[in-house]
Amino acid sequence: MIFALFFTQSFVFGQSKKEQLSIVNSAKLTSKNFYDEIPFSDKLGYFTIQVKIDTSSYEFIFDTGGYNTVTSKIMENSKLLSLMEVEVGSSNKIKSKIKLSKVPLMQVGKAQFEDVGVFNYDFSFSPAINCYTNGGLIGKSVIREVVWQIDYRKSVIRVTDNLANMPNLDKSEKIKIELDKTLNPFLKLMIDGKQERFMLDFGYGGLISLTEKTASSIKPTNILTIEGEGSISANGIVKEKTYAASLKNIKIGKSELKNKVAYYAKSNNYNLLGSELTKYFIVTLNFKDKELILTPYSDTENDFETFGFNINLDSNKIYVSKLFKGLNAQKVGLLLNDEIIKINDKHLSEFSLCDSYFTLNNILSTEKEILLQIKRGEEQKEFRIAKQKLF
């Protein structure tokens, strides 16, 4: 799931792309000499924090690779003006026209920001995203203004205007990043012995996502095909095959992660380093000084296991959105678009759609075996599926 948005062309009032970017990239820090610790929630790899606009608080996704966005409800409640309309594209190449505005005052913990450029976005083409947020995205222009530290194991995001205030830096390594004109943060990684350029994008909930070109150059020996939906973006869902590839090693500065999985698809614009990075390091973002600072945890996560399918939701049901070719879910007969109505002893009709989505994903991440009841047309079927390693 990738929430990054990219400019493609202007449509209204004849403003140049430079004028558009000056609004989109605007955010001015007004707080001084502060340090704060903000609780965050991990929603399937996407980190949400409380953001205050006017007198109301909303839940926002913290997205290093995305622009700031707000919902139409916030636009209406805060009486925000539409400054122009632009066309933007997502990282999976789907485009849409959306309004551009500014939030006069935004507060994240003790950090206050003025004149924050925002897109008006309701994620109507991707209903699942509305289960993560009722506010929008905190993106690149705000993230650049202060120093942030994501401490995943304590479920805290620390924020300050002075790097010296941050803990956990004694055994850290500073890695150079570059910001392009739209403030996308890029760094270089070694993937199976080849140096590649990656965008640091916490709008991607995994660890590594590759372009087809990069995957081809690496030539991984183990590749698994995933049928069904491709990446989900703010602008919608691409129907395409995705591929999972086994990587021998990923070198980030002097640190090395071994035997991890990367995903790639034809629609991917960039190589991405996603939010799963925070499971291996305390991550400090010092974009003003163009630094990514990593402090390794003393131990690392276990190997990834799967039942061999993924889920998504539309306006009224949760369904099988991806099937991993040759793995257990496909072997027992599960099909794409099967509607899930029960898992183990839990009937999904007992929960709201979003609660069902998170409940189901939690069971899929924690259990070793499931009994799944699905609806296919007028027929109901039951499948017992065991979890297995991807490779």
pLDDT digits (tens, 9 = 90+) for 198-216: 999 999 999 999 999 999 9
Q: Is the pLDDT of residue 12 over 70?
A: no
Q: Is 348 exposed, middle or buried (0-12, 13-18, 19+ CB in 10 A)?
A: buried
Tokens of 75: 């636009």
| Confidence band for 95, pLDDT divided at 50, 70 and 90 | low
pLDDT of residue 11: 40
| Cβ–Cβ under 8 Å, residues 115 and 28 | yes
pLDDT of residue 237: 78
Mean pLDDT across the stretch 221-227?
96
pLDDT of residue 145: 98
Q: Is the pLDDT of residue 379 over 80?
A: yes
| Cβ–Cβ under 8 Å, residues 70 and 53 | yes
Mean pLDDT across the stretch 325-342?
98
Task: Classify domain 173-296 at the CATH class level.
Answer: mainly beta
The domain locations on the chain are 5-165, 173-296, 305-389
CATH assignment, 5-165:
2.40.70.10
Give the integer Cα–Cα distance in Å for 37 and 157. Answer: 6
The set of residues, in sequence order, having a beta carbon less than 8 Å from that of 127 and lying 6+ positions away, is 313, 314, 315
DSSP symbol at 166:
-
pLDDT of residue 376: 97
Q: Where are the alpha helices (DSSP H) in the chain?
A: 17-24, 72-77, 129-132, 140-143, 212-218, 328-332, 353-366
Tens of pLDDT, residues 251-305: 999 999 999 999 999 989 899 999 999 999 999 999 999 999 999 998 776 678 9
- Per CATH, 5-165 and 173-296 having the same topology is answered yes
Task: Classify domain 305-389 at the CATH class level.
Answer: mainly beta
pLDDT of residue 134: 95
Cα→Cα distances 58→114, 121, 179, 322, Å:
17, 14, 28, 31
Q: Is the pLDDT of residue 91 over 70?
A: no
